[in-house]
Copies of this chain bind each other. A is one copy, B any other.
Amino acid sequence: MPLLGLLPRRAWASLLTQLLRPPCASCTGAVRCQSQVAEAVLTSQLKAHQEKPNFIIKTPKGTRDLSPQHMVVREKILDLVISCFKRHGAKGMDTPAFELKETLTEKYGEDSGLMYDLKDQGGELLSLRYDLTVPFARYLAMNKVKKMKRYHVGKVWRRESPTIVQGRYREFCQCDFDIAGQFDPMIPDAECLKIMCEILSGLQLGDFLIKMAWKDVRHEMVVKKGLAPEVADRIGDYVQCHGGVSLVEQMFQDPRLSQNKQALEGLGDLKLLFEYLTLFGIADKISFDLSLARGLDYYTGVIYEAVLLQTPTQAGEEPLNVGSVAAGGRYDGLVGMFDPKGHKVPCVGLSIGVERIFYIVEQRMKTKGEKVRTTETQVFVATPQKNFLQERLKLIAELWDSGIKAEMLYKNNPKLLTQLHYCESTGIPLVVIIGEQELKEGVIKIRSVASREEVAIKRENFVAEIQKRLSES
């Protein structure tokens, strides 16, 4: 079939589809007749030239565009998260979207298969970043940074089967805060937990709890501090039954623990941590969880996860199954994996699950029928008459040059009603109106969209008047 070689790539797909049709009546069924193939080839060639795009217009599987509505919600939430990170003295930084494949391998355990690799187009083998933690560790090792408190907001990519209904996508945003460096025990760890609490309280998502993985704590005590397993399990009974609140006090009232020197030593870090959390006023937000397990290979100590306790289900609101909305932990070994001499830089950090938070907030707004403005325009420049484009352009340039957010319609002669309707539908609060009357009198009319009140202001004072009104509102 020499014809096939001439087909453009798109026509090929179309041809294949046609070849997969049931065989024609005159054929035996097992082999396709020549006439059918020839017909398919011709149809495909025609199609390739007639149709415009014969592929589906879509975003890649598991990804989506963020509309202006999405962006407004995101901007608000990210502003709150970032301002909390800055409140705790963190510096911003960014890393490339992709890393050398070798940088990422052997860091994520069984999840490594979910990495997006780039095609080998000559040169280095690359993969899209899978989280922001491994690039941070690579940055510290590469620049021999021994101490750093940084935040990083950026996209990461994972080839997971997307369950979009829960707000999980293959491309998503992460917001990380990490403290790298050798410090006195549990002080940075406590700050990470404090940050989680500040952000989750600030976002007003309802009640939440931070669950620490008991298995990891037990492992630390038994393997690293040499506590007898049965004593560790006795502590375990406590932390599960009583949560974190008055943990330390209660354990010290138990003679089996308080009279055991080894137990007291094993409890050291936990005691310290809860002491700091109490000073921060957040000890009641922390509890232990038997079932919580490490998600990623690089964690070396306690991991923690924040979960929303319940969502205030109002009438008509769908139940939200959002899982954890923040997570973090200690990873003291990761930087050393990049250092040629294996020099370690202890790290502790947290990641806010902003995508899930975006989803929750969007769902709530939908339920409540809340609308958001997707622009910030303050003033609209209108005219009731024809042939006023020039005057409108002069006015709007004055507004822009004074830093005022202003819009007008891109029409020579728009109808006044169309212009006013635009303001109402997009939420623009003020209109300035110029027409023959105003031009003759040397004034500009300022109209409040909400009250429909209009006042005439001298042309030379109109910007100042608008600035006054905007500062008052």
User: Hey, what's the 0/1 contact readout for A265-279 against B, CB within 8 Å counting as 1?
Assistant: 000000000011001
Q: What residues of chain B lie closer than 8 Å to A118, measured between beta carbons?
A: 116-119, 128
Which single member of B138, B155, B184, B281 contacts A57 (CB below 8 Å)?
A: B138
Contact check, A52 vs B342: say whether CB atoms are below 8 A apart.
Answer: yes
Q: What's the tally of chain A residues with a CB closer than 8 Å to chain B?
A: 97
Is A165 part of the binding interface, using a Cβ–Cβ cutoff of 8 Å?
A: no
Nearest neighbor of A138 in chain B, beta-carbon distance: B57
What's the number of copies of this chain in the assembled complex?
2
A103 within 8 A of partner (CB): yes
Which of A92-100, A210-218, A436-444, A450-458 touches B? A92-100
Are the CB atoms of A92 and B71 closer together than 8 Å?
A: yes
* Interface residue stretch chosen among A234-242, A284-292, A392-400: A392-400
Which chain B residues lie closer than 8 Å to A183 at the CB level? 410-411
Contact A184 B410 (CB under 8 A): yes
A117: B residues at CB distance < 8 A: 118-119, 121
Question: Which of A300-308, A352-360, A372-380 lines the interface with chain B?
Answer: A372-380
- Quick check: A96 and B63 within 8 Å, CB to CB? yes
Shortest CB distance A431–B (Å): 14
Knowing A60-B126, A96-B171 are in contact, say whether A52-B280 is a contact too (CB < 8 A): no
Provided the pairs A67-B93, A87-B400, A118-B119 are in contact, do residues A52 and B337 lie with their beta carbons within 8 angstroms? yes
What residues of chain B lie closer than 8 Å to A159, measured between beta carbons? 121
CB within 8 Å of B: which A78-133 residues: 86-100, 102-103, 116-121, 123-124, 126, 128
Q: Which residues of the partner chain B approach A150 to less than 8 Å between Cβ atoms?
A: 68
Taking A63-B98, A97-B97, A97-B171 as given, write out 20 further A-B residue pairs in contact, using a Cβ cutoff of 8 Å, ordered by the A residue number.
Answer: A51-B340, A52-B341, A52-B342, A57-B340, A59-B99, A59-B142, A61-B123, A68-B93, A97-B155, A97-B157, A116-B118, A117-B121, A118-B118, A118-B128, A183-B410, A187-B393, A188-B410, A194-B397, A279-B397, A281-B397
Q: Nearest 8 CB-CB pairs, A to B?
A: A183-B410, A68-B91, A63-B96, A89-B407, A71-B92, A117-B119, A66-B94, A279-B393
20 contacts between A and B (CB under 8 A): A53-B102, A57-B103, A57-B138, A57-B338, A60-B126, A65-B93, A65-B143, A66-B94, A87-B405, A89-B375, A92-B374, A97-B155, A116-B118, A117-B119, A117-B121, A119-B119, A187-B389, A187-B410, A198-B400, A275-B390
